[in-house]
Structure 1
């Protein structure tokens, strides 16, 4: 599905579903790059306990740098994801 990322607000990206809560509750539509970056930075436990909404993710310092950078990237660019050293 092509659409707008709920996290980085880029339009025209191919979206996947990222489950902020258990799968039965639903999820947010994010491109693969944002989805992978979230999982590279945070454990599933941390996501479930501390970062379980798009607003909380957008406000987290570790992800803010990525969001500032990704918004400037063309949607056609293949993005390399960096793992967190502290995860």
Structure 2
């Protein structure tokens, strides 16, 4: 399968976006040969900006779990309204940066 393709994001459900393969269980946590999802680049970047690989493996191992997570569901609600070609800036959350610990 090609690394990038165009289609519908499994997370935000936008059409005609560039997709990347997201390992639902991160590769470094043993997910190399497990399930993947095709999601758009902004959603993929946002997932990794909000959560560590340990959090993804333990709490968010499916698209449905990602969709219903409080932090990410706000982002999904917003990104669905954005045009497919829009470039979205992504910043790490304060918890990922080490603030507020």
RMSD of aligned C-alpha atoms?
A: 0.7
TM-score, reference length from structure 1: 0.96
Residue 71, structure 1, aligned to residue 80, structure 2? yes
Q: Which runs of 5+ in 1 are unaligned?
A: none
Q: Deviations over 1:11-52 (max 9, x none)?
A: 100100000120211310011110000000000000001001
CA distance in 2, matches of 1:69, 1:82: 15
Q: Under a length normalisation based on structure 2, what TM-score does the superposition of the two structures give?
A: 0.83
- The answer for unaligned runs of 5 or more in structure 2 is 26-30, 97-101
* Runs ≥4 residues deviating over 4 A: none
Higher-Rg structure is 2
* Alpha-carbon distance in structure 1 between the residues aligned to 2:63 and 2:81: 20
Structure 2 CA distance for aligned equivalents of residues 27 and 50 of structure 1: 16
Aligned length: 87
Residue 24 in 1 paired to residue 33 in 2? yes
Alpha-carbon distance between aligned partners in 2 of 1:31 and 1:16, rounded to the nearest angstrom: 6
